[in-house]
Structure 1
Amino acid sequence: MEDSVSKDPWFEEDWEEAKRYGAEGDDTKEQQERRGISRRTCLKVLGIGALGTALGYQQWQIQELKNAQHQDGVPEVVRKVAPSTAIVARSRMNADGKTYDGGGSGFFIRDASGEAHLLTNTHVIWPQGFQRETDDHGECLIAPFGAQGEFSAKVAQLPDGREATAPSLFHDITMLEVPPEVSVPRLLGLKLRNLQSRPLNPGEKVVIVGSPFALEGSVTTGVVSAVQRSGAMGSPTIPFIQIDAAAHPGSSGSPVVDMRGEIVGVVSAVYPFNGSYAENVVFALRSDALEAVLREWGIEV
């Protein structure tokens, strides 16, 4: 008689995959064979108990393990993402001669060639009340997460002479030029999620890592409330996602990442309410819209 346990197609492949996501077995294979039962009836999933059925360890059970692992993985995501974030600080005179001290958050990405780029919101660089014709061309101070020093940066120039900036009432994205004397560590730089191959879903867990009130590496978590909110920044055609992770002054320009640490959006606005803001109704530029801007600038990611 053939060994029913070793020949079970649900046993070998699915059990090996399940183990990668935290499943445990009670007994050894030999002990189970002596009792004449299949190992799959003795599996424990995250302390729930035996979930095996006549069909063995099924795909929905493996997916539950994956989901549980991802839900518990926020610290790992933060460790991966935070080093690629930065405080973007401004201190200058506006058109009325008044000093403005402010700023927001930024983050590094890597393009297809491995070059590092620093991104933030346009409204962080040029807040309301400044005349771009007479300002300092968006020069600001960058304080990378965990770094001992700071460096000055200004809006990057594209090869065709344009500034690498998209208006705040549309995409609200600006690329800052990293000075040649600043060497961005090779391991830094976030990846954009491909929303065509991995569509975003309502209810999916997301993490914001940014610098509200210049508090570097601040973390908030939430879920995707809506995958597309056109018109969030005044344009009916630019796609934003809505999330319920809290955002505050200085969160603008923060990356919104999934549980793999890949960028799904960039914090751009908080919903205004009663003269204040609803901190848990947050709009972020979708990663596919960001990718389109970068491609128009000649940057492939």
Structure 2
Amino acid sequence: MKSRLVTNIYFLLAFVPCLMLGSSALAGHSLGNGLRVLEEVESGLVGLAEHTLPSVVSISPFVPESSVGTPESLRKRPNNAGAGVIVDGRNGYLITNAHVVRKAEKIRVTLYGGQEYVGNVLGTDEETDLAVVHINSDEILPQVSLGDSSKLKIGQLVVAIGNPYGLKETLSLGVISGLNRENINLSRYEDFIQTDASINPGNSGGPLLNIRGEVIGINTAIINYAQSIGFAIPSNVVKNVSRQIIEHGEVNRGWLGVGIENVPEDVAAQVNLAKGRGVMINSIFEGQPAHMAGLKVGDIILKIGGSNVDSPNGMIRLIGNVSPGQFINLDILRDGEERTYSIQLGHRKDQMEMASLQQNPLPELGFDWTEHEAGATTGDHEDSDKKKEGVLVTRVEPGGSADRGGLMVGDLITALNGQDVINRGHFESILRQNHVRGSISVTVQRADEEVSLTLSRSE
């Protein structure tokens, strides 16, 4: 029945326009066949809705009815904030978006039949915008299964269910428009399913289903200035995150301890690396797994655990899917030679620790810098053939160590302590590695001259 339904839906897409136009070619027997196809497709979609709708819930903030001093208008049931889907009816676990339950320990969960529960937020993961909510029920609740999002293909039919604008249990039909969408700036770990199934405010946290009624994604966002562009978090990500939240109350991700960027075009050309292949390490955090294993700034990471690395976001996802303490193989390219390192991942640092690691370890040197445009020509002459990499000095503190050492605003630092500077991340990494030294030596490009300077730290 299901496989036949899929075939007939594609026939339907071609047949419906003709049926609506009342073409004389679709008369008699042909019209009867077409109507049967329509009825079968309609029956399949109705069955899908009947099977899945009882597992989709409405989620809103919980306001106790007996709140002392709360105005009557605020004690009434709030407007729906989003949706969720029950994935374990026996134990009362449901999935939604983290932003739907943000800053709430308890929420109001309304089932398809109108029954209400007070749910506890078991845990959230802001990195993927997912959350798990637990409700206590004396009955086994209806549930749906999580499908395998790795098998999805563009063009597959999908159904989105949610509560757009407070309109409960709204179902919309569409297709998968794209896969592996990233750089949407919605979360840190981005690997979205793009769909044209109608998703509106209130759909957040609801399921994206395949025609078998399996959850293949959790609806998370839309592009406000565009039509028919919605995004869902893949079900395989949902499986991993929800399992960790249920078992541990939080999500633990592996930590390598490097800064990365896309491989610059000139570097890729030098090592004959195809465009879009690999990422380059631009900084290494001292004492962290990558540093302990012997990775270096300038190394190009090609594979992680056998999977190709094609973008910084892709690498972040691969590392994040590995638990702290596990060993993972990294295939890298260094000086044109491929090497493999086995590295035991650590725990990913929180943002405050990350920020402290990236601070300039020598602020007393008295100057600031910024990224230098790759391949920019230095000097005042248009015919200068010198193309330098490095960092550009943007501020020199009057009377400070850099000023006394002769550094000037506009200088391009091309080498630090004898090491060529590739970019800002590389420069800062060298600074961190040499933080115990009493002074540093720099080579700068100033107009058409190369100047060597020694900068001593202030006492």
Q: Give the TM-score normalised by structure 2.
A: 0.41
Which residue in 1 is equivalent to 2:140? 185
The answer to whether the aligner puts 1:285 opposite 2:233 as a matched pair is yes
- Match of 1:183, SS state, is coil
Residues 210-239 of structure 1 deviation map (CA, whole Å, 9 limit, x = unaligned): 112222211111000002212334346431
Q: Which amino acid aligns with 1:239?
A: D
Which residue in 1 is equivalent to 2:202? 250
- Match of 1:73, SS state, is helix
Contact persistence 1:139–1:155 (CA under 8 A): yes
Which residue in 2 is equivalent to 1:59? none
**Which residue of 204, 214, 219 maps to 1:262?**
214
Which residue in 2 is equivalent to 1:32? none
Contact persistence 1:248–1:279 (CA under 8 A): no
Which residue in 1 is equivalent to 2:111? 144
Question: Would you tell me which structure has more helix in proportion to its own residues?
Answer: 2
Residue 281 of structure 1 and its aligned partner are, at CA, apart by 0.6
The answer to whether the aligner puts 1:104 opposite 2:82 as a matched pair is yes
The 1:237/1:119 distance shift into structure 2, 3 A limit, reads closer
Unaligned runs of at least 5 residues, structure 2: 9-29, 64-73, 248-459
* 1:209-228 matches, cutoff 5 A: 209-228=161-180
Q: Give the TM-score normalised by structure 1.
A: 0.61
Which residue in 2 is equivalent to 1:230? 182
The answer to whether the aligner puts 1:115 opposite 2:72 as a matched pair is no
Q: Distance in 2 between matches of 1:183 and 1:151?
A: 11
The answer to whether the aligner puts 1:78 opposite 2:61 as a matched pair is no
Residue 264 of structure 1 and its aligned partner are, at CA, apart by 0.8
Q: Distance in 2 between matches of 1:70 and 1:233?
A: 37
Q: Which amino acid aligns with 1:183?
A: D
Residue 125 of structure 1 and its aligned partner are, at CA, apart by 1.0
Residue 138 of structure 1 and its aligned partner are, at CA, apart by 2.9
Contact persistence 1:86–1:142 (CA under 8 A): yes
Aligned length: 208
Give the stretch that moved more between structures: 237-246 or 288-297: 288-297
The 1:233/1:74 distance shift into structure 2, 3 A limit, reads farther
The CA RMSD measured in Å over matched residues stands at: 3.2
The 1:71/1:237 distance shift into structure 2, 3 A limit, reads farther
Give the stretch that moved more between structures: 220-229 or 100-109: 100-109
**Which residue of 142, 146, 159 maps to 1:207?**
159
- Match of 1:297, SS state, is helix
Residue 79 of structure 1 and its aligned partner are, at CA, apart by 0.7
Residues 62-91 of structure 1 deviation map (CA, whole Å, 9 limit, x = unaligned): xxx9xx967862211111100001110126
The 1:107/1:201 distance shift into structure 2, 3 A limit, reads same
The answer to whether the aligner puts 1:154 opposite 2:120 as a matched pair is yes
Residues 180-221 of structure 1 deviation map (CA, whole Å, 9 limit, x = unaligned): xx23435x111011234xx11111110011112222211111
**Which residue of 129, 137, 143 maps to 1:172?**
129
Contact persistence 1:232–1:283 (CA under 8 A): no
* Percentage identity across paired residues of the two chains: 24
Q: Distance in 2 between matches of 1:291 and 1:228?
A: 17
Q: Which amino acid aligns with 1:195?
A: S
Residues 26-81 of structure 1 deviation map (CA, whole Å, 9 limit, x = unaligned): xxxxxxxxxxxxxxxxxx9x938xxxxxxxxxxxxxxxx9xx96786221111110
- Match of 2:180, SS state, is coil
The 1:165/1:283 distance shift into structure 2, 3 A limit, reads same
Q: Distance in 1 between matches of 2:49 and 2:139?
A: 19
Q: Which amino acid aligns with 2:148?
A: N
Contact persistence 1:230–1:236 (CA under 8 A): no
Q: Distance in 2 between matches of 1:212 and 1:184?
A: 28
**Which residue of 47, 52, 77 maps to 2:33?**
47
The 1:102/1:261 distance shift into structure 2, 3 A limit, reads closer
The 1:109/1:91 distance shift into structure 2, 3 A limit, reads closer
Residue 139 of structure 1 and its aligned partner are, at CA, apart by 1.6
- Match of 1:165, SS state, is strand
Q: Distance in 2 between matches of 1:226 and 1:174?
A: 24
Residue 120 of structure 1 and its aligned partner are, at CA, apart by 1.0
Contact persistence 1:90–1:103 (CA under 8 A): yes
Contact persistence 1:78–1:209 (CA under 8 A): no
- Match of 2:99, SS state, is helix
The 1:138/1:103 distance shift into structure 2, 3 A limit, reads farther
The 1:250/1:297 distance shift into structure 2, 3 A limit, reads same
The 1:258/1:175 distance shift into structure 2, 3 A limit, reads same
Q: Which amino acid aligns with 1:193?
A: G
Contact persistence 1:116–1:184 (CA under 8 A): no
Larger Rg: 2
The 1:101/1:265 distance shift into structure 2, 3 A limit, reads same
- Match of 2:229, SS state, is strand
Q: Which has the higher contact order (CA 8 A, sep 6+)?
A: 1
